Amino acid sequence: MSLSSMSRVLLRNYRHLSLSAPKGAHNISVISTSRGMASDASSYQFETLKVTTPQENILHVELNRPEKRNAMNMVFFREMKECFTKIAEDSDCRVVVLSGAGKNFTAGLDLMDAATIMAPDGDQDIGRRAEVLRKFIIPLQESNTVIERCLKPVIAAIHSACVGGGVDMVTACDIRMCTKDAWFTIKEVDIGIAADLGTLQRFPKIVGNDSLVRELAYTGRALPSEEAKEVGLVSRIFPDKEALMDGAMELAKVIASKSPVAVQGTKSSLVYSRDHSVNDGLDHVRVWNMSMLQSEDMMKAAMASMQKTDATFSKL
């Protein structure tokens, strides 16, 4: 069957398929395999991160400094960039779950570590010291931007404290879930700086409440889980960390079962459209689909829907 014929069949059946989907169908376990083996987590070796493959096509990246409440030191920032740059090119990975080991998601910036690096050099004039700090901040910003730039969806599973740099990080993720005891704070104001790793740029666009953003950023007030859900920072709340991780993995499994061409194209369009006009966004997705509509995934998905079977998509 040609692509055009398959497209016509898909369009004829779309209305029926949408209306007949059973309640809660998004929670049904779906099997989808890729050609070759699952991501080899053993190739992801880091000091501050633990990377595992809980299920095929899913990577679990865990902040792994529990004795320091997952405080973010310079090694962490470097390794986050390395990790997600590698994930972006890992054709076996389709979705990432990001969580924290120990009692807290993260305590934010490791102040002791940062202080030793940011200490001013008395022999330099103010212009040269400023340039040193500018170069210091760039890779820290990149450690979060790389999450957003990676076309694999990233689910942040947040428990207990998410402080300062943690908010910078999770606002760069695609989906945020948390435990009932989770809380968020834009803590930078309490250490005498403006948040500079992404919170002030991404948080307002997520919650859409300028007044609340300014209140939180100016005061450092803790945002509890229920309020975080109310304003749209998180989409789901779980009673404890175990339930949170189960929920995150189940969602990751559903996403991994979908066409990687469709999912990654969707993320690319959503991120681009956030920062551009509607017309620019339409131009972007049109150019993307000029190529991607020729993918085998559309035909495979249509056939699987009509035959009520699970589609098997090749790795991308």
The separation between CA 265 and the C-alpha centre of its own chain, rounded to angstroms, equals 15
Report the predicted TM-score, pTM, of the whole model to 2 decimal places. Answer: 0.85
Q: What is the pLDDT of residue 301?
A: 82
Residue 294 scores a pLDDT above 90 = no
Residue 8 scores a pLDDT above 50 = no
Contact 157, 97 (CB under 8 A): yes
Q: What is the pLDDT of residue 32?
A: 35
Residue 295 scores a pLDDT above 80 = yes
Question: What is the mean predicted confidence (pLDDT) over 190-196?
Answer: 94
Alpha carbon distance 282, 17 (integer Å): 26
Contact 38, 92 (CB under 8 A): yes
Q: What is the pLDDT of residue 39?
A: 59
Locus of tokens 């949170």: 244
Contact 179, 237 (CB under 8 A): yes
Residue 6 scores a pLDDT above 50 = no
